[in-house]
Amino acid sequence: MGKNVHVTHRKDGSWAIKKEGNERASGLYDTQREAIKDGQPIAKEEKSDLIIHDRENRIRDRDSYGPDPCPPKDKKH
């Protein structure tokens, strides 16, 4: 599993994509939607999680694109 990818809000109002542990952002965006759209293929390539933060940089959502050691057991299907 690769480095998790975070979509975070910056003080200047922009949104950033940043791989966990990296000092610099991979990209800067005007909207969160644009950052998420560009962050998904990066997380898929890394086989990791895309962690989406809100304006206060609290985690609001998480999408997993890697192997899950404890996959959910869907009993409906």
Q: What is the pLDDT of residue 25?
A: 95
According to DSSP, the β-strands at 15-19 and 5-9 are antiparallel
pTM of the model: 0.84
Q: What is the pLDDT of residue 72?
A: 56
pLDDT in tens, 12-70: 999 999 999 999 999 999 999 999 999 999 999 999 999 999 999 999 999 988 776 66
Q: Write out 27-47 in H/E/C secondary structure.
A: EEECCHHHHHHHHHHHHHHHC
CA distance 58 to 77: 33
Contacts 24+ apart (CB under 8 A), 63-72: 65/40, 66/1, 66/2, 67/1
